[in-house]
Amino acid sequence: MAGVMYASATGGVSTSGEPAFGVAAQAFSVNYLKALYDKLGAWKHIRNFTADVSAFGEAVNIPNFPRLTAVDVLASTGVFTYENTGITRDQIVINKSKAVAYSVPETVLLQSKLDIRAAFADEAARAVSDCLDHEMAKLIPSLTTNSVGTLNADLSEAICLEAIGRLVRNHWDVSNPDDMVWILPSTQFGIVHALKGYAQSYRIINTNTNDSGGNDIRAALDTLYGIPVHWRSDTELLVSADAAYGGLFARDSVGIAIQRMPTMRQPMPIPGTINTELLTYALFGIATLKQEVACLLKCQ
């Protein structure tokens, strides 16, 4: 497992020769990834990849397909002309390094009925998911291909529909709303809720895959014309006191690559204290892939 650390019985980093090698950290990784992908983050609606990376600066290469079209075949001979599809390679550089680190009193670990380590894995995943959404929001001001709305003015039905229309003009199939996502400034929360296209929808965030008879886990989510809405208060979206940016992203517009096996250090006492550290590192990268299927929304 690339990039995973384990504490040994002697206080150093464990080796594969030790009996307990990998057990705790592997369990953490499973809990962490399950929690990460169970969350309804905005990044779940764009291209996201888990990658076997172990070092900051590594690159994940993905193919970038243009819009493919059919060509005519001459019926009498079967002759046809090959199209130069121009398939290119996009790179997502792993250039974001995040740590989730907490100091936990020993009494909490020993006396709590809750499995603190499992809870930490879930909360660490929540923190990383929020970081991914934040990085998406940071891309919005740089969207230049499509732009709708006016700064210092509220969003409207016409503006939001025009944003969707910009994607349609660039041949994006809008039949699956979950292949798109709005990231909107929290300043427009009340305005959007009053629009005719607003609704609260239920999405499956974890499908039941066992025979226990359990139900799929669902969560309520704000939607605008069926497209999930995620509210952000990031400073990058604020142009001034009365002006802000939002964005509409199609799945192919942005790519995120996330380290498949996060680095988790086995809980270790903090010298000179009665506390234990819970610590995990996460590496990921994000890149704009196809700006033509994303849209900047100007508002207030």
Tens digits of residue pLDDT in 283-299? 899 999 999 999 999 99
The domain made up of 23-64+87-206+217-299 is a member of CATH 3.30.1380: no
What's the pLDDT at 24?
46
Which residues contact residue 46 at a Cβ distance below 8 angstroms, ignoring those fewer than 6 apart? Answer: 136, 181, 249, 250, 251, 252, 253, 254, 255, 256
Q: What is the pLDDT of residues 110-129, one digit of tens each?
A: 777 667 777 777 888 888 88
| pTM recorded for the entire structure | 0.76
Q: CA 64 to CA 82: how far, in whole Å?
A: 19
Residue scoring higher pLDDT (105 or 80):
80
Domain boundaries of the chain, sorted by first residue: 23-64+87-206+217-299
pLDDT band at 106 (very low <50, low <70, confident <90, very high): confident
pLDDT band at 18 (very low <50, low <70, confident <90, very high): very low
pLDDT band at 1 (very low <50, low <70, confident <90, very high): very low
Q: In this predicted structure, which of 176-180, 254-258, 268-272 has the lowest mean pLDDT?
A: 268-272
What's the pLDDT at 241?
92
CA atoms within 13 Å, Cβ hemisphere of 32? 26
Q: In this predicted structure, which of 5-19, 78-92, 122-136, 153-167 has the lowest mean pLDDT?
A: 5-19
Q: CA 182 to CA 172: how far, in whole Å?
A: 15
